[in-house]
Amino acid sequence: MKEDALLILLVFVVWAALALIYALVPSLGMPGYVRVWGAGAALFLGLAGLLTAVRR
Amino acid sequence: MSDTMPSLTDRIAALPGCDKTLARVLFGSALLALLLGLGFGWLTALGRAGVTGFEPLLAARLLTLHGVTVFFYWLYLAQAALLLVLAGAEQNCGGLALRPLAWVGCVLMLAGFAVSEISSIIGTPLLYDGGPALGRDDPAAVGWFSLGYLLLGAGLAVSSVSVIATVLSRPNSGTSEPLSAVGFALFAWAGFLIVSAIASVNAFLPSVLWALGLGAFPANQPTEWHILFHNLHYLPLMATVVVWYVLVQALTGVSSMHGSRFSKIVFASYLLFVPPTSLYHMFLEPNLAEGVRVVGSLLSLFVAVPTVMAFLIIVSSLEAHGRSHSSSGGFSWVRALPWKNPVMSAIACSALNLALGMTFAFVLIQEKVAPLLSDTFFVPGYFHFFAVGTVSLSFLAAMMVVLPALTGTLPWRPSLLNRMPALISVGLLIFGAAGIAAGFVGVPRRTFDISYGGDAPALWHTLMSAVGIGGTVFAIGLTVLVIGVARSLFQKIGDVTNQQPEVSWGNTPARASAAAWVGPLGVLVMVLAMAVFTVVAFELMNALPLIVIGGSGGHSH
């Protein structure tokens, strides 16, 4: 189970990092990327938590 | 999958009746969408070939209906149906968790289907991206069209919640045992669908608000569309490799020899690569910073990594097991595969079409080439290898296994259906080769009348005639296949599950010394083809007698 949650957590890290880059570099001019990748990051963090909680 | 787990068809056959009814509604709706979209597409191909003429408004409406019906409703109703059935089968006898949500999702998706079709038929045709600029004078059309996609997205998200709950409520839930590779893939796929629903809200909610007079004109919609569009490239491919993984196991008994953990890493890599590779969709934006272009171009090289890895896992596992069961060498393991089973033929043809599609996709997404080819017929020429030849064939292959198990029917005329994947692929080859060539010589993508008052090169008409011929051939093959698959929805013959030819290579492990070089060789050939066609593209572009007067300074190119 741990491997499942870790993989989804890794997805969260990548998506959150991309959302942060788009948020912190305004010259990229793509606020939509912040919203979608950021919401996706939050979702995958929740799913990783769910995997951990359900299997505990 | 554990050794004691019943077969896929047995697990599907054991699903509760209400889950089977839901699956039949979704599969039936998906097949209806495919038939409708195919009809609209065939008319479009005839129009592009010059066989029949359409007024510009009707032509735009046909293009809109074709794109909306096939690219959205066929591909996503089918995904929802497959996800729910495979999740239910993974749960093994208990059926779907949070079942009411799955039904609510179905109702929302079908409502979206109806709204999108009606608004595309009676409103201003906006093409499948629903660009509000085309409907600036018709806000109601923009609003209804966008609402259709929002309903589809909401339905997919709600259904995905049921899938996630189902996967997590397997019989061994509550233990520390990891998910199976397929269970993990379904979990990740469902999560990805929810994110895509969020992306659809980001892209289309402002249009609905504008139509209601509650918001400003959604001038950024094209940019927001590209984020959703990027997900919509990955989702069907992820679904395709999951389907291959499941079907190869069902047909041959072979699961990954690289282990379940590695398969999960590959499935997760789809999600890992999605955001970083998204930039290439922005190459047509004139204001995109040069640095972003360079980074986007480099990152786009990774776009196919998950699909290539999944292909290698499946083919190498199959080859190693096949060689372990075959006394003779060479390609005898390939000949031993169950080629009389239409599912096997469909998977094989879809893999070949994927290689062709990927080859030309890599030509297109290069930063220097994209602006020159993106508005030409090159685009429909290559992406039908994906949309029809890879994804649709794979989904239909899955339905040929799933539907007979769901309804207890015999597959209809398997020997006839077995010929259709090859016929479809031949048609696609004609359509794709002519379309790609037409793109290279400048035939525009969405313009039906390409005579330009007689100034257009004669070659354009010849190539577009071939596009019409190829399109007709694959439309015939696809129609026969869809009708054959759909008959399993309605004809109850008895308690019979899929009895098509299969092999049982999974009972014994592959020999450690068994070679598995066909997969890597296939990837090498594809990479070489990418290089060759990239060179061809640049040479052709350089040879074009093209003079462009730039807006700032009048530079010639």
CA dihedral B102, B103, B109, B115 (to 10 degrees): -160
Tell me, yes or no, whether B59 lies in a domain.
Answer: yes
Q: How many domains does chain B have?
A: 1
Residue A3 sits at the chain B interface (C-beta within 8 Å): yes
Q: What is the largest CA-CA distance in chain A?
A: 44
Distance CA(B248)–CA(B342), nearest Å, equals 13
- Using only C-alpha atoms, chain B has a radius of gyration, in whole angstroms, of 23
Q: Count the residues in chain A.
A: 56
Q: What are phi and psi of B105, to 5 degrees?
A: -60, -45
pLDDT in tens, B400-414: 999 999 998 877 899
Tell me, yes or no, whether B556 lies in a domain.
Answer: no
Nearest partner of B463 among B369, B378, B532, B375, judged by Cα: B378
Q: How far is CA B172 from CA B2, B10, B176, B179, in A?
A: 12, 19, 9, 9
Size of interface A-B (CB pairs under 8 A): 89
Do B496 and B305 contact (CB within 8 A), yes or no? no
**The two structure tokens encoding residue A54:** 């359900």
CATH number assigned to the domain comprising residue B465: 1.20.210.10
Chain B residue with minimum CA distance to A42:
B195
Answer positive or negative: Cα dihedral of B236, B385, B131, B552: positive
Q: What is the ipTM metric for this complex?
A: 0.96
Closest partner residue to B198 (CB to CB) among A2, A3, A39 is A39
Tell me, yes or no, whether B446 lies in a domain.
Answer: yes
Contact B188 A8 (CB under 8 A): yes
Distance CA(B551)–CA(B547), nearest Å, equals 13
Q: How far is CA B179 from CA A55, B159, B206, B257, in A?
A: 10, 20, 39, 17
What's the pLDDT score for residue B544?
66
Residue A54 sits at the chain B interface (C-beta within 8 Å): yes
Minimal Cα–Cα distance from B198 to chain A, Å?
7
Residue with tokens 């994804």: B391
In terms of DSSP H, where are the helices of B274-303?
290-300
For residue B227, the chain A residues in CB contact (below 8 A) are 32-33, 36
- B33 by Cβ neighbours in 10 Å (0-12 / 13-18 / 19+) ranks as buried
Chain B residue with minimum CA distance to A1:
B178
Chain B residue with minimum CA distance to A41:
B195
Residue B290 sits at the chain A interface (C-beta within 8 Å): no
Residue B32 sits at the chain A interface (C-beta within 8 Å): no
Do B386 and B232 contact (CB within 8 A), yes or no? no
Structural domain that includes position B470:
8-495+514-543
Helix pair angle (B518-543, B305-324), 10° resolution: 140
What's the pLDDT score for residue B172?
59
Q: How far apart are the first and last CA of chain B?
A: 58
Tell me, yes or no, whether B1 lies in a domain.
Answer: no
- B490 by Cβ neighbours in 10 Å (0-12 / 13-18 / 19+) ranks as exposed
Distance CA(B180)–CA(B159), nearest Å, equals 21
Helix (H, G, I), strand (E, B) or coil at B444: strand
Tell me, yes or no, whether B315 lies in a domain.
Answer: yes
Distance CA(B307)–CA(B275), nearest Å, equals 16
Chain A residue with minimum CA distance to B224:
A32
User: What does the angle CA B419 – CA B421 – CA B424 come to, to the nearest 5 degrees?
Assistant: 110
CA dihedral B358, A13, B189, B501 (to 10 degrees): 60
Tell me, yes or no, whether B500 lies in a domain.
Answer: no
Do B81 and B26 contact (CB within 8 A), yes or no? yes
Tell me, yes or no, whether B503 lies in a domain.
Answer: no
Side-chain-side CA neighbours of residue B443 (13 Å):
27
Distance CA(B544)–CA(B556), nearest Å, equals 13
DSSP annotation of B410: P
Which residues 344-373 of B have a C-beta within 8 angstroms of A?
none
For residue A27, the chain B residues in CB contact (below 8 A) are 289
Contact B178 A36 (CB under 8 A): no
Answer positive or negative: Cα dihedral of B44, B38, B73, B299: negative
Helix (H, G, I), strand (E, B) or coil at B376: strand
Tell me the one-letter amino acid at A42. A
Q: Count the residues in chain B.
A: 557
Distance CA(B554)–CA(B539), nearest Å, equals 24
pTM above 0.95, yes or no: no
Mutation for testing the B interface, residue in A4, A18, A45, A52 having most B CBs under 10 Å: A4
Residue with tokens 């046909």: B62
Closest partner residue to A55 (CB to CB) among B176, B184, B261 is B176
Per-position pLDDT tens, chain B of length 557: 444 678 999 999 999 999 999 999 999 999 999 999 999 999 999 999 999 889 999 999 999 999 999 999 999 999 999 999 999 999 877 899 999 999 999 999 999 999 999 999 999 999 999 999 999 999 999 999 999 999 999 999 999 999 999 999 866 555 668 899 999 999 999 999 999 999 999 999 999 999 999 999 999 999 899 899 989 988 999 999 999 999 999 999 888 888 899 999 999 999 998 888 877 766 767 777 777 777 777 787 787 889 999 999 999 999 988 888 876 777 888 998 999 999 999 999 999 999 999 999 988 887 778 888 888 999 999 999 999 999 999 999 999 999 999 998 877 899 999 999 999 999 999 999 999 999 998 999 988 888 888 888 999 999 999 999 999 999 999 999 999 999 988 866 554 544 666 778 877 777 777 778 888 898 899 889 988 988 888 887 777 655 443 333 333 33
Residue A37 sits at the chain B interface (C-beta within 8 Å): yes
For residue B271, the chain A residues in CB contact (below 8 A) are 11, 14-15, 44
Tell me, yes or no, whether B549 lies in a domain.
Answer: no
Nearest partner of B342 among B417, B409, B403, B247, judged by Cα: B417
Distance CA(B178)–CA(B232), nearest Å, equals 29
What's the pLDDT score for residue B173?
55
Contact A8 B292 (CB under 8 A): no
Q: What is the largest CA-CA distance in chain B?
A: 75
